[in-house]
């Protein structure tokens, strides 16, 4: 990753943070589906970022979200786990033709099917950790799983909509 991407990453960081804490924070369906659109920032970072740097970025982003949500590290833990698992999952589900240098894992660059295969399990794991740690155990397993699954799909749908609206296609670059 070269230094020309850093200003764009900072702008994305601020925009996703503002979107999450001002608009999406109140986007809850039936008290079970919560939208965490800030995960888009972490999932769409370039693949060339080193593992330690990537986990530090994810921790900082999760920690800032925790400050606004007053959740004592829940989002930071989920984000660091997501950052840890993303490179392994990216190797497990490569797109046809493999990855290219400088490629971002956006839906329009890689395709909807690949993006769904890439993002849905990672979002699910993040939400699983987030909601089960928040619940403090397995005593509400059924209700917590409903929250995890519905929040995963809501987050993914909003993520897809944002990419259709704001990310350029690889043909337009």
pTM of structure: 0.88
Intra-chain end-to-end CA distance of the chain, in Å: 18
Integer Cα distance of 32 and 4 in angstroms: 40
| 29 bridge partner residues | 33
Encode pLDDT of 152-167 as tens digits: 999 999 999 988 887 6
Q: What is the DSSP string of 26-62?
A: G-EETTTEE--TTHHHHHTS-TTS-HHHHHHHHHHHH
Place 26 in a pLDDT band, splitting at 50, 70 and 90: confident
Residue 173 predicted with pLDDT over 80: no
Place 2 in a pLDDT band, splitting at 50, 70 and 90: low
Q: Where are the domains of the chain?
A: 3-172
Q: What is the DSSP string of 114-150?
A: HHHHHHHHHHHHHHHHHHHHHHTSSTTHHHHHHHHHH
Encode pLDDT of 96-155 as tens digits: 777 777 677 888 878 889 889 999 999 999 999 999 999 888 888 999 999 999 999 999
What pLDDT score does 171 carry? 43
Angle at 64 between CA 61 and CA 66, to 5 degrees: 110
């Amino acid at each position: 990753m070269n230094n020309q991407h850093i200003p764009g990453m900072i702008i994305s960081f601020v925009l996703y943070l503002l979107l999450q804490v001002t608009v999406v924070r109140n986007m809850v369906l039936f008290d079970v589906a919560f939208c965490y659109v800030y995960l888009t920032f972490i999932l769409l970072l370039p693949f060339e970022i080193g593992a330690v740097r990537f986990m530090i970025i994810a921790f900082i982003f999760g920690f800032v979200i925790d400050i606004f949500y007053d959740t004592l590290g829940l989002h930071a833990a989920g984000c660091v786990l997501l950052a840890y698992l993303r490179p392994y999952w990216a190797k497990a589900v490569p797109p046809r033709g493999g990855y290219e240098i400088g490629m971002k894992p956006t839906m329009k660059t890689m395709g909807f099917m690949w993006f769904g295969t890439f993002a849905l399990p990672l979002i699910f794991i993040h939400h699983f950790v987030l909601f089960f740690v928040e619940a403090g155990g397995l005593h509400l397993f059924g209700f917590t799983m409903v929250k995890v699954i519905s929040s995963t799909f809501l987050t993914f749908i909003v993520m897809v909509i944002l990419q259709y609206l704001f990310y350029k296609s690889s043909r337009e670059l």
